[in-house]
Chain A
Amino acid sequence: MEPISHEGLGRLLKLDSSLQTPHIVFSRTELSESGNLETGGTIKIGKVFDLPPSPLGLDSDKPPYLQLSKDIAVIDNAYSLQPKKLVEIASTFRKEAGFSRLIYAPAVEPSQMPILAYLGVDIFDDLNVELRSSTGWVLESGEWIKNNGKIDDLFAHNKEELNRWILRIRNALLNGKLRELVEVTSLHNPRVSQILYHSTQLLIDKGAKVKSNIRSNDLSLNHPAIVDFQDRLSDYEPPAKNMVLLILPCSARKPYFKSSSHKRFFNALREVDNYLALHVVSVTSPLGLVPRELEFCYPAAHYDIAVTGKWSASEIEMLRNQLIKLNPKEHYAKAIVHAGSSSKIMTNLIKELGIEVVDTRVEKPSSYEGLEILQNVARMSLTGIPLLNTKDRAHGEARGLAKFQYGEMSDFLIKSEISGRMPYKLRCGDFAAMSPVVGGFGLTLNGAITYASQGGPIVVAEDFKLIGDLFAVGVKSYKGNWNIGDQVVIKQNDEVTAVGIAKMVPEEMISMNRGVAVEVRHHV
């Protein structure tokens, strides 16, 4: 088997030339009974595999949760387990099953297949579809419709539709859109939405970071990438002390600084003396607040949302929380709000935190008049603010970004010789440079050596001349832990020979014999 794509805990595996997961087995031809209670029958997925025995006498509330045969791990009762319990079990899937076993969830409803695939289930069956068909219901995009007309052989019809449905799941997984499909199926399905709700933290901790565009909606406030971004804002520090916080609206174009409105803001502001002491933070939903330096970081440059101009109560609460994490009272001397329709809300929220704030009260922030007012307000606000030079500002920006990205291991980047300036030319000596692909600082080979020596994640590869990506078959062992999408260092013969982006999780690299393990960015 060869992993082709990941999203969340789900994986699209290529089993052979025509078989991919998530996969449906058809019970009448591909499942067989065992004939006695203590063995498990067989399942045909290309080849015929033994199934583990059914869970006689076991309490589904207690581990081990999966029944294992040599090649298959069965999650019995996936259709009925308490949502919270199911998520808890999903967090131990790979610990119990490893990566070389396929995870099979028997007798689940089509509407639950996307969320289960998102949590790592590989194989489904048509047992419930057969029952539904026998009562005259038609399957349509994962939902059941009562059929009044006559369809010859409804079961065959529904099996075809089920095939299309699983194809849709697979396709979504391939394109990083599985989350969207899960959200769609959760809309009017309390069970799926509960599972989705409870799985956020698990997905942050262990899920693959696919960096696909988030076309957001009300459910996105719980999107793992968004919650993760919001959480990490608490460790963030602005480039310098006593700057003036400038709240600007977000833009449709990402990253914001490339949008026409933000270019106009910049052009207006740079005519003001000491404009470098202005710190631009964009206000947006569902992310909340995005400081300028973090605009490259996923998902700040990878989402889209319907613009209504209205803020819901939960969004306002979210903005308040984000503002508290930004800690304006400690970090900024004062604040300017120039955010159009969200100005009033932001002004009030900032006032709550007890710092001086000026609202430009402009309805169209990027209009000619609006820009003029912004310019004047900025000029006024900046009087008395200590001068901030380009170098110090770049230093501060690099520190903020490095900390946001690398957390406790960011020291070597912060202490390096920082040069250039935001956005594209910023560098940390010869350790790291800005990279839109990585979404922030991408490590150079030299940076990788230091990163590895400080405990960064290491993939140990077999001894061969690495020229392109590293494939799973060439992985010998690993050190540390990471999620898909994180940067990892490749070592061969105890020498760092490359650095790149992980395409599999640690154990998976060891278990798999095929597929890209690390997408290499730099090698010797």
Chain B
Amino acid sequence: MSEAFVPLTDFVNESKSIPRDHPLDKPVAKWTEEEVLNGEIVEAGVVILRTRGCYWSIKEGCSMCGYFNDTVPGGVSDDMLREQWKRVRPILKGKKYAKIYTSGSFIDPTEVPFDFANEVMSDLSDMGVEKVLIESLPEFVNPKNFNYEKAPKLEIAIGLESSNPVVLDKSVNKRLRWPHFVKVCKLARDNGAEVKAYILLKPPYLSEKESIDDAVKSAIDAAPHVDKISINPVNVQKNTVVEKLWFRNEWVAPWLWSVVDVLKKCEDLPIRVYSDPTGGGTRRGAHNCHDCNKKILQALNNHRLGLGDLKGLHCNCKSRWDVLVQQSNLRRNGSEPHGYRSGFSGSRHF
């Protein structure tokens, strides 16, 4: 029975709420983490600047994205952005790798003014940073938006999410088209930037098995066009469609076994495919049972840094994951009974 296409527009907009007031002169967050640069493990400085936020999240937004909660709807003035930059400089000093995030697109000139971005890049270059990672929607990946006077090697991370248009339309609510993505990857690489693709694992509505298949397929599709791929297991962020579905028990966060499975299936790809699950091991993030969360997350981190592989991992909950994956496409959504991952031990669940 054919049915008219129902965009998620209303559902997304009804899930959102106006972000609370934030101080404009402070960044959202800053920290350091281990990263791989030219085959070596280095310490990377990570900062999230507070901006007006992603233009798409203002209009509609994606079903799993709650980053708009950290934005300022009225926008942040250039002065305040410079104030924020002053506060994050110390953490970037002396690092070879920097990640500059906003809760949107760094190279959207209406979100981060080009002049300010230009200053930031030349400052980073002066500090000795060799490579800088920024994020953007594909529509802003245009040389005129990142044609800086002086800048470290640029790595642009693009949220591909999935190469399947059905998933993009009916699950993620992202207006991205595969041919356009391929085009902007080429454009970025032709202009001296590297491209990192984000691929979602288990966007809403999808079952465990569907989501594994979709992530693997998307990674295989994207591999020729990008320099590395990060598999992002969907986590439950505030005021999103995903959170609503999670509250209603119509969807639960993916298993870490699924993450491992996807990475194993992508082992033969010519580029690095890894995962650093946000909120891993918690109820809102990718998780297994209580016994093995830590162990698997450690293994994933080692895999990301090239320190180990994902072989030989085991836990009692693995067989449960097998049973679920086998039947998950028949379940018609991404749900499972409460307490299943721990074998319904403890209190009663029915």
Q: Which residues of A contact B (CB under 8 A)?
A: 27, 31, 33-34, 36-38, 41, 52-60, 68-70, 74, 76-77, 79-82, 106-107, 109, 111, 125, 127-128, 130-132, 134-137, 143-144, 189
Contact = CB atoms under 8 A, between A and B. Distances in A.
Contact of B171 (A31, A34, A57, A69): A57
Interface residues of B, number: 40
B7 A57 contact: yes
A134 B10 contact: no
Interface stretch (B96-104, B149-157, B194-202, B337-345): B337-345
B142 interface: no
Nearest to A106: B332
Contacts of B327: 27, 127, 130-131
Given A131-B337, A136-B343, 6 more contacts: A37-B167, A37-B206, A57-B171, A59-B10, A106-B330, A134-B323
Contacts of B11: 57-59
A136 B340 CA distance: 11
Contact of B166 (A38, A79, A137): A38
Contacts of A111: 350
Nearest to A189: B350
A241 B111 CA distance: 82
A125 B335 CA distance: 15
Contact of B248 (A68, A81, A127): A81
B15 to A, nearest CB: 9
A53 B167 CA distance: 14
B205 A54 contact: yes
Given A41-B330, A128-B337, A134-B319, A56 B250 contact: no
B169 to A, nearest CB: 7
12 contacts: A37-B210, A41-B329, A52-B1, A54-B205, A60-B248, A69-B1, A76-B250, A77-B333, A80-B249, A130-B327, A134-B319, A135-B340
Given A76-B332, A127-B330, A58 B6 contact: yes
Nearest to B6: A57
B320 interface: yes
Nearest to A192: B350
Contacts of B336: 131
Q: Which label, helix, strand, loop or mixed, suits the secondary structure of the B interface?
A: loop
A57 B350 CA distance: 27
Contact of B330 (A31, A56, A82, A109): A31
Contacts of B335: 77, 79-80, 107
B323 A131 contact: yes
Interface string B8-38: 1011001000000000000000000000000
Contacts of A79: 249, 335
Contact of A134 (B6, B206, B320, B348): B320
B337 A106 contact: no
A520 B14 CA distance: 53
Interface of B: 1, 3, 6-8, 10-11, 14, 164, 166-167, 169-171, 173, 205-206, 210, 244, 248-250, 319-320, 323-324, 327, 329-333, 335-337, 340, 343-344, 348, 350
Q: Which label, helix, strand, loop or mixed, suits the secondary structure of the A interface?
A: loop
A69 B332 CA distance: 14
A217 to B, nearest CB: 22
Contact of A56 (B166, B319, B343, B344): B166
Given A54-B205, A57-B169, A58-B6, A107 B248 contact: no
Contacts of A144: 344, 348, 350
A41 B210 CA distance: 13
B332 to A, nearest CB: 4
**Top-9 shortest CB links A-B:** A57-B170, A56-B170, A80-B249, A135-B343, A54-B332, A134-B323, A33-B329, A59-B11, A31-B330
Contacts of A36: 166
Contact of B331 (A60, A107, A134, A137): A107
B262 to A, nearest CB: 17
A393 B210 CA distance: 74
A14 B6 CA distance: 37
A61 to B, nearest CB: 8
Contacts of A143: 350
A27 B250 contact: no
B1 A55 contact: no
A237 B173 CA distance: 62
A55 B337 contact: no
A77 B329 CA distance: 15
Contacts of A55: 205, 332-333
Contacts of A60: 248, 250
A70 to B, nearest CB: 7
A131 B324 contact: yes
A69 B319 CA distance: 34
